[in-house]
Amino acid sequence: MQARTAGRKHRSIRYAKWGYLFIAPFFIAFAVFQLIPLASTVYYSFFEYFRSGLKEIGPNFVGLKNYAELFRTDLPKYFGNTLLMWIIGFVPQIAVSLLLAAWFTDTRLRLRGQGFFKTVIYMPNLIMASAFAMLFFALFSDNGPVNAALVSAGFLEEPFRFLSSVAGTRGLVGLMNFLMWFGNTTILLMAAVMGIDPGLYEAAEIDGCTPGQMFRRITLPLIRPILVYVVITSMIGGLQMFDVPQILTNGKGSPDRCATTMIMYLNNHMYSKNYGMAGAVSTVLFLVCAVLCIAVLKTLDRSQEGGAGK
């Protein structure tokens, strides 16, 4: 009897290999297109490797020289520019998206034409960033239609030079990022809100809760995972900001390099074929993204623990 049982166990079919087979293409593609290039970038960041005319210098190992030289430049300023322009666009984006998600998912409001409005708010996300930047460049130029309308209405005595002022340039970049991405964020938050059990709202309404209390006490805590996802992905995308300020300022980040981002700074090194410094900038950017993501996760976890304690 024991021999038969052992034979059956020996002949049992194991399906684990098929699971590994199905997930293998992802890991192979990840290793070839992301992991190996990332390791190569970190490796070359410790080398002197650039072109001088037609002559190629290196790769010569220099240790942390590239990083030391990097922090003697204006890298902190470019990081501040990037973070500030992301915040200018993200704060109204998350506020408007939460408001729209609450409206569109509230059955008591009975809003008409929801499909039309959802399509309209999502459409800017389908426009290429380069086309969006060129459109804003034409609209907000010194002789553009926005200045013409403001002067004609009497709000301004003379055209305001948006692209020649620090606040105007950063504000335009933040506005474009807001318009391009708030539709996508709204759809994500709507999906999260629609996943909440309607019975919770019905019970809260019977208990006399106001809409604001239900939003703060029910909606926000239960959509926290999607909020974390939105914040982290938006922050990573914001730190990688490139196309909008690059096209809007013609690659100069003017005035006074107030719109120069970290990726624009990285692009300058790639254009000059300074691969060692480019690798150092990429590595610093990767570490900054990782640290900020961990900080956001810890902050949200602490706030959740505090809310649970109350």
Check the CA dihedral 242-245-248-254 and report its sign: negative
Residue found under tokens 């956001």: 296
**pTM of the full structure:** 0.84
Q: Which of 45-49, 63-67, 252-256, 269-273 has the lowest mean pLDDT?
A: 269-273
Residue 85: which H helix or E strand, with range? helix 75-105
What count of other Cβ atoms lies within 10 Å of the Cβ of residue 274?
21
Ordered by start, the domain boundaries in the chain are 74-308
Q: What average pLDDT does range 179-187 have in this prediction?
A: 91
209 CB-near residues (< 8 Å, 6+ apart): 217
Structure tokens at 115: 């499909």
Distance in angstroms (rounded) separating the CA atoms of residues 276 and 143: 43
pLDDT-based confidence at residue 81 (cuts at 50, 70, 90): very high
Question: For the CA atoms of 248, 249, 253, 258, what is the dihedral angle to 10 degrees?
Answer: -70
* CA dist., res. 278 & res. 258, Å (int): 21
Query: What CATH number does domain 74-308 carry, 3.20.20.30, 3.40.50.300, 1.10.10.10, 1.10.3720.10?
Result: 1.10.3720.10
Residue 178: pLDDT above 90?
yes
pLDDT at 303: 65
Question: Residues 81, 90: contact at Cβ < 8 Å?
Answer: no
Q: What is the mean pLDDT of the chain?
A: 86
Tell me what pLDDT residue 310 has: 55
Quote the CA–CA distance of 183 and 124 in Å, as a whole number: 8
Non-local CB neighbours of 242 within 8 Å, separated by 6+ positions: 261, 263, 264, 267
Strand-pair partners of 61: 47
The pLDDT of residue 295: 87
Q: Which residues pair with 194 in a beta bridge?
A: none
For the ranges 84-88, 241-245, 298-302, which has the lowest average pLDDT?
A: 298-302
Q: Which of 216, 177, 212, 215 has the alpha carbon at shortest distance from 87?
A: 177
Is the confidence at residue 109, as pLDDT, over 80?
no
